[in-house]
Amino acid sequence: MTGPDDLRDPDALIRRAKRGNPEFDQHFLVDDRVLDRLPSYLPESADRSHVLEIGGGTGALTDRLLAAAPDDGEVTVVERDPDLVAFLRQEFADAVDAGELTVVAGDALEVELPEFSASVSNLPYGASSEIAFDLLPRKRPLVLMFQQEFAERMVAEPGEDDYGRLSVSAQHYADVEIVEHVPADAFDPRPRVDSAVVRCTPRAPEYEVADEAFFLRFVKALFTQRRKTMRNAVRNTAHISGLADPDAVVDAAEESLMSRRAGTVSPAEFAELAALARQVDPGVERGG
């Protein structure tokens, strides 16, 4: 494995790689201090034997992940830019030959991801939501870089302005926390927004969900009408949630809950309402 004194300079990597293809909207993290800290944000108990990186770019984070890997550990990096795939395989040829690094060519949402023990990734902004919600159900520790606004929505609590479907869905799978705010000038080229690093530590929710797909769809539906009372949101979004008899759900639920708005409802309360909906509405669309 690479030693900490042999880490590659991120700016030099960009020069050697000739940046890659502009059509992929790439923003390479070049702040050495942030790069050095990212692997350390994994929970202490995390299994680091096989770390997955999505969006390897020119390999600055890949280099740090290899340096932080335990003996016999491995890193898999997924990169969709074919020019950068070739660059990574050449730049890290020794690690590839030693079986320490695997470079997977393709879109992370389309290729078959390997079994991994944890993921540390500077996610491509355009696909960060889809990738995050592919990774979260796999119940592995995650350290992921997002646009700051997205990160703040992930960690928001009921009653806060940023609290929404994303908050409920992310917190259903894990304890989520922002561990570092990263300014735009830490990247090259500089993006128009700041970023934040989110640590996701998997854990079972404090509530029971018999039909996870319906629960998440139900939450999604209700937040499309977040300015309405829950009573109206349940009735107006049956075509999204799959309810056959939304009035039955409204009539069976507590009035105190139905008079509130989705932005004040906790994940546990959403789960309780989803369970009630499955109980009183025999025609509800299951799973999906």
- Extract the annotated binding site for S-adenosyl-L-methionine: 27, 29, 55, 79, 107, 122
**Known binding-site residue numbers:** 27, 29, 55, 79, 107, 122
Phi-psi region of 263 (alpha: psi -120 to 50; beta: other; left: phi over 0): alpha
Would you mind telling me the total number of residues written for the chain in this entry? 288
- Would you say 197 and 182 are in contact if contact means Cβ atoms under 8 Å apart? yes
Q: Which residues pair with 264 in a beta bridge?
A: none
Residue 227 burial class via C-beta count within 10 angstroms: exposed 0-12, middle 13-18, buried 19 and up: exposed
Instruction: Collect all residues with Cβ–Cβ distance below 8 Å to 258 and sequence separation of at least 6.
Output: 229, 230, 231, 234, 250
Q: Tell me if the bond preceding 141 is cis, omega within 30° of 0.
A: no
Candidates 63, 66, 68; CA nearest to 41 is 68
Candidates 67, 87, 51, 46; CA nearest to 2 is 67
Q: Which residues pair with 50 in a beta bridge?
A: 74
Q: What tokens were used for 242? A: 């799959």
